[in-house]
């Protein structure tokens, strides 16, 4: 038994042409031995992640989902470029090994990076990992601290100013995600119009700050040290990283933060162990983040509801592809019910909101 995150069998319809990939990578590093064994990591509702196991090295390959058409939503070359530029100032980023846009090798752009061998927490702790309540709390704080550290990176000194458009991030996000939802809506999905209207009316007049944000900062995108599971050694999945408002980033994170006292429907969506004794509640996360950064968080309702709405759009976009036969993964058939639930959750929070 090992605590190290394991890949499994490649899902049907998501196989790779191993010979072509191996030939391409051999041209970059001639020391790679033979053909790699290929396995696939769980998840993959967005980009797909594979383990290439050579006799003398392990590499990770990332590609868009099959059937994806919009390059802007699954831009592998952009993700790899961000990682390469960020690595010198944020050491938790894996090193990029290669990028490829040759359609003779694969039907899409892809990149290959080093494998960080460690623990990745999903809906529950892996078998064999036992944490006390105090350890769980410290782990939680350590993970939040890595987000805070990212928000404090001097992006201009790191040469990352090209990632964003400056001020007005909040307005662009509300407008952009609203447009995306309307385009992705299917006839069995709710309209979200009341929520979108509330977000448009309640958005703050200006961004809290402009900083480097991850946009998908979750426990299952964090790699923990096997020898010391409280220590974060890596942060993964930089597909949506950009420059923007840090409270919007925190709102995105809390959309996945299911805690022990949440309603059953939300608990069914849990994909990280934020329900464990010792984990901070959402309110405690907000308070801790505000204390550590100095950003005011007293009107956080907007950011929390935005995060849930954005999650609903992402879920609905995936369901739209399934609904129209662009992807065959049967787990996506249920996603429209998640969309519909998230609208009701947003509406409930709006009723309770003081802003």
Same domain, 165 and 104: no
Same domain, 256 and 137: yes
Q: Is residue 9 part of a domain?
A: no
Same domain, 290 and 213: yes
Same domain, 267 and 219: yes
**Distance separating alpha carbons of residues 233 and 242, to the nearest angstrom:** 21
Q: Is residue 122 part of a domain?
A: no
Same domain, 108 and 144: no
Question: Which DSSP helix (H) or strand (E) runs through 112?
Answer: strand 110-114
Would you state the pLDDT for residue 71? 47
**Average pLDDT of the chain to the nearest whole number:** 94
Domain end point (choices 114, 149, 181): 114
Same domain, 155 and 90: no
Domain end point (choices 84, 114, 144): 114
Same domain, 230 and 201: yes
Q: Is residue 199 part of a domain?
A: yes
The total of structural domains in the chain comes to: 2
**What pTM was computed for the model?**
0.94
- Which structural domain range is residue 317 located in? 133-352
For 130-171, how does the pLDDT look when each residue is reduced to its tens digit (9 = 90+)? 999 999 999 999 999 999 999 999 999 989 999 988 899 999
- On whether the CB atoms of residues 158 and 307 are closer than 8 A, the answer is no
Q: Is residue 123 part of a domain?
A: no
Residues 6+ apart with CB under 8 A from 337: none
Q: Is residue 3 part of a domain?
A: no
51: domain CATH number is 3.30.200.20
Q: Is residue 329 part of a domain?
A: yes
Domain end point (choices 80, 114, 148): 114
Q: Is residue 169 part of a domain?
A: yes
310: domain CATH number is 3.90.1200.10
Same domain, 82 and 149: no
**Distance separating alpha carbons of residues 274 and 345, to the nearest angstrom:** 18
Same domain, 212 and 323: yes
Same domain, 190 and 95: no
Q: Which residue has the tokens 């429209």?
A: 336
Would you state the pLDDT for residue 42? 83
Low-confidence ranges of the chain (pLDDT < 70): 1, 43-45, 68-73
Q: Is residue 5 part of a domain?
A: no
Question: Which DSSP helix (H) or strand (E) runs through 213?
Answer: strand 211-213
For 222-246, how does the pLDDT look when each residue is reduced to its tens digit (9 = 90+)? 999 999 999 999 999 999 999 999 9
Residue 235, classed as helix, strand or coil, is strand
Same domain, 250 and 182: yes
Same domain, 209 and 104: no
- On whether the CB atoms of residues 121 and 180 are closer than 8 A, the answer is no
Tokens of 80: 């790899």
Question: Which DSSP helix (H) or strand (E) runs through 37?
Answer: strand 37-40
């Amino acid at each position: 038994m090992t605590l190290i995150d394991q890949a499994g069998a490649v899902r049907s319809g998501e196989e790779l042409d191993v010979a072509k990939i191996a030939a391409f990578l051999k041209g970059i590093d001639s020391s790679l031995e033979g053909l790699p064994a290929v396995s696939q990591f769980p998840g993959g509702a967005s980009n797909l992640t594979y383990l290439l196991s050579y006799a003398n090295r392990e590499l990770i390959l990332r590609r868009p989902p099959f059937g994806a058409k919009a390059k802007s939503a699954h831009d592998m070359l952009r993700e790899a470029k961000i990682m390469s530029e960020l690595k010198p100032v944020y050491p938790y980023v894996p090193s990029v090994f290669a990028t490829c846009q040759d359609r003779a090798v694969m039907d899409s752009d892809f990149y290959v990076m080093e494998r960080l061998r460690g623990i990745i927490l999903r809906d529950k702790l892996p078998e064999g990992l036992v944490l006390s309540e105090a350890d769980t709390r410290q782990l939680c704080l350590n993970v939040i601290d890595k987000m805070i550290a990212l928000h404090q990176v001097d992006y201009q000194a790191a040469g990352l100013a090209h990632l964003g458009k400056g001020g007005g991030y909040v307005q662009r996000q509300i407008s952009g995600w609203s447009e995306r939802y309307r385009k992705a809506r299917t006839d069995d999905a709710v309209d979200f119009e009341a929520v979108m209207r509330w977000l448009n009316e309640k958005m703050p007049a200006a961004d809290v700050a402009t900083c480097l944000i991850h946009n998908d900062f979750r426990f299952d995108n964090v790699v923990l040290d096997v020898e010391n599971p409280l220590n974060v050694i890596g942060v993964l999945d930089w597909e949506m990283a950009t420059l923007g408002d840090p409270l919007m980033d925190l709102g995105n994170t809390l959309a996945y933060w299911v805690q022990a006292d949440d309603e059953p429907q939300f608990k069914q969506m849990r994909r990280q162990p934020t329900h464990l004794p010792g984990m901070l509640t959402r309110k405690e996360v907000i308070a801790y983040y505000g204390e550590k950064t100095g950003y005011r968080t007293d009107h956080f309702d907007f950011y929390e509801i935005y995060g849930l709405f954005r999650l609903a759009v992402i879920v609905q976009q995936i369901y739209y592809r399934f609904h129209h036969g662009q992807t065959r993964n049967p787990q996506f058939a249920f996603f429209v019910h998640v969309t519909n639930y998230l609208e009701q959750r947003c509406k409930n929070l709006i009723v309770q909101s003081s802003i």
